[in-house]
A and B are shown apart, each in its own frame.
Chain A
Amino acid sequence: MTIHAEPTTSPATVTDCAVELRGVSKVYAGGVHALDAVSVDFPRGRLTSLLGPSGCGKTTLLKIIAGLLPATSGEVLVNGKSVRGPGPERAFVFQDFALMPWATVLANVAFGLHLRGVGKAECQDTARHYIAEVGLSGFDDKYPHELSGGMRQRVGLARALAVKADVLLMDEPFSAVDEQTRRKFQEDLLRLRAIENKTFVFVTHSIEEAVYVSDRIVLLSTRPGRVSQVIAPDIPRGDDVDAIRRHPVYLDTVDTIWRGLKRYLD
């Protein structure tokens, strides 16, 4: 995959990493030590997964990158700039979709643009484009309760795409949908990654999912979360997405990660 930054969004100091973490630690008010000196880079235009045992702080780390949670110590750099809060270069896809039940699909997708003060007509045009891109054409005027779980997450994805951020932060986006829908989503994500020149940070608890969709996998240890391993599975992602699950490297990587994680359970 070729890496080319868009001229309008590229920062003055071009780095090859969209997101850099420098010794990020997080201790919650109650004294829970969630993250301990996490330093890891997220290369531009790649999909990097955060994977680890449950409670290892993957979601905490993602929310720190998003600027939703402050780090206790350490620094998060996005496009070379230190993060103080949420920014226009990052968009978030929520595990529970976080759709507004009182708003239509169109209004939900346009919400991010609307908050940025984009005019109504442009908001709606952009929103319609991304609704079509995630395969929900014709559902513009439906309300979230009229959609299936999978369709709701497509709305969440369209909302994140509509703001045209460089970095897409996805918090277990497929964990609340059924297995078959999830497989379809994973294939769609690979396609999306190929056409959208974005940096994806993808939190998941599924080893197979991480290996299937990721260029790089950051393995976190049990709490307090530390980077225990970074794996870059060398799986050819050609036209046949179904071939990936049968590829020897895919199977070996899943096995290696499982062996590594197993010691954290019990």
Chain B
Amino acid sequence: MASLRRETGAESAADGLGLSRLIPFGAFAPRTALLDREPSALAAFVSHPLTLRVLSALAICLAWEGAARIPISFAFPTFSATMVALWSMIADLSLVHAFAITLQPLVVGLLISTVLGVAIGVAMGLSAWVQWLVSPVFIVAQAAPLAALIPLIIFAYGIGLTAKTLVVCIMAMPVIVLNSYVAVRHAPVSLLEMGRSFLGGHRQVITRIILPAASPVIFAGLRLGCAAAFVGAILAELLITPVGIGDLITYNRSIADYPKMYAAILSIVVVSVLFIELLEVIEVTVFRPEKRARA
């Protein structure tokens, strides 16, 4: 199933960033066999995940700066110019206003998709009847090219917040629904038998066993849904009405202010990553305390 394949990709990507697990020099720092024999402070520092992540980010920034200085294209600003532009947009509040607009359909759409999507997906996992009734809608919705649907949405709902929220939902909900469904269906059989044999009622088995067991895959779906919601929100601003971050991108492109255009793009990428990291923090604190113990 497509949702499963995509889910593993997102999991490894989230692990790679792992901003929520930044504990310097913890016991879980990976060590090579060589370093085990001769541990030194410098080696420990160099091989620490945090050091490596910072180095990785630095390498990208340097490569960006270098490539722009060659220059490879007049439309490709340097990293430093982009940072200056970013700071000026934060200082004159234009970026803040843009986010205030962009985040409205995004947050509303994401909340609706999360609540409704998880509920529908869990219901599908628990009842074959619901699954047969509902799954075709979401399988089609996941496969449908969104840009082709946007004219229909504009006809039906205009160009306001409703249409944009709907675009976010269409992007985010299918992957959340399908992951929740798969997660519930794959709850370990022996845990379900354990719940029944120790006299758990239907409701208790669902809340105390099925949902915690399903939560890692449900959250993998939420992370994918979150990323898709950002795609939907920006697409809506590029294709329906140019406002918010989408407007900053298109406007600065039209006046050839490329540092500002890159700064707007970079800011939405950073906010998207922070949203996904926040989801992981929620998952680990609320649902899977043993992952904290593992880290």
Query: Which of A's residues lie within 8 Å of B, judged by CB?
Result: 63, 66-68, 85-88, 90-92, 94-96, 98, 100-103, 111-112, 115-116, 143-146, 159, 163
Main SS of the interface on chain B?
helix
Q: Is B254 part of the contact surface with A, judged by Cβ < 8 Å?
A: no
Choose among A87, A94, A102 the residue that contacts B287 (Cβ–Cβ < 8 A): A102
A116 to B195 Cα, complex, angstroms: 11
Q: Is B15 an interface residue (CB 8 A)?
A: no
**A-B pairs with the 10 shortest C-beta distances?**
A112-B198, A98-B194, A143-B290, A92-B197, A98-B190, A115-B200, A86-B197, A102-B212, A96-B190, A143-B293
Residue contact A111 to B212, C-beta cutoff 8 Å:
no
Contact B290 A101 (CB under 8 A): yes
| Given A111-B208, A143-B293, 13 extra CB contacts under 8 A | A68-B196, A85-B196, A91-B198, A92-B194, A92-B198, A95-B190, A98-B194, A102-B287, A112-B198, A115-B195, A143-B289, A143-B290, A145-B290
13 of the cross-chain contacts (CB-CB < 8 Å) are A63-B193, A92-B193, A94-B194, A96-B190, A98-B191, A100-B213, A102-B290, A112-B199, A115-B195, A115-B201, A115-B208, A144-B290, A163-B198
- B193/A94 in contact, CB under 8 A: yes
> In whole Å, how far is B286's beta carbon from the nearest beta carbon of chain A?
11
Contact B199 A86 (CB under 8 A): yes
The yes or no answer to B101 lying at the interface (CB within 8 A) is no
Interface residues on B, range: 20 to 34
A94 to B194, CA, bound (A): 8
Are B197 and A90 in touch, CB under 8 angstroms?
Answer: yes
- Does B290 lie within 8 Å of A68, measured CB to CB? no
Q: In the complex, which residues of chain A have a beta carbon less than 8 angstroms from the beta carbon of B198?
A: 86, 91-92, 111-112, 115-116, 159, 163
Chain A interface, DSSP helix/strand/loop, else mixed: loop
Task: For the complex, give the distance between the alpha carbons of A115 and B194 in Å.
Answer: 11
Question: Chain A residues with Cβ under 8 A from B290's Cβ?
Answer: 101-103, 143-145
B161 contacts chain A at the CB level, 8 A cutoff: no
Q: How far is the CB of A133 from chain B (nearest CB, A)?
A: 18
**Residues A68 and B193 in contact in the complex (CB < 8 Å), given A102-B290, A115-B204, A143-B293:** yes
B interface with A by C-beta (< 8 Å): 188, 190-191, 193-201, 204, 208-209, 212-213, 215, 287-290, 293-294
Q: How far is the CA of A111 from the CA of B204 in the complex (A)?
A: 11
Partner of B197, one of A67, A101, A102, A143: A67
Shortest Cβ distance from B212 into A: residue = A102
Q: Please name the residue on chain A nearest to B194 by beta carbon.
A: A98
A88, A91, A115, A163: which has the most chain B beta carbons within 10 Å? A115
Q: For B190, what are the chain A residues with a Cβ–Cβ distance below 8 Å?
A: 94-96, 98
Asked whether, in the complex, the Cβ of A102 is within 8 Å of the Cβ of B288, the reply is: yes
List the B side residues contacting A95 at CB < 8 Å.
Answer: 190
Distance, CA A98 to CA B194, complexed state (A)? 7
Contact between B196 and A86, CB atoms less than 8 A apart: yes
Chain B's nearest CB lies how many Å from the CB of A258? 30
Q: Give the Cβ gap from A43 to chain B, nearest Cβ, in Å.
A: 22
Contact A98 B193 (CB under 8 A): yes
**In the bound complex, do residue B199 and residue A100 qualify as a contact, i.e. CB atoms below 8 Å apart?**
no
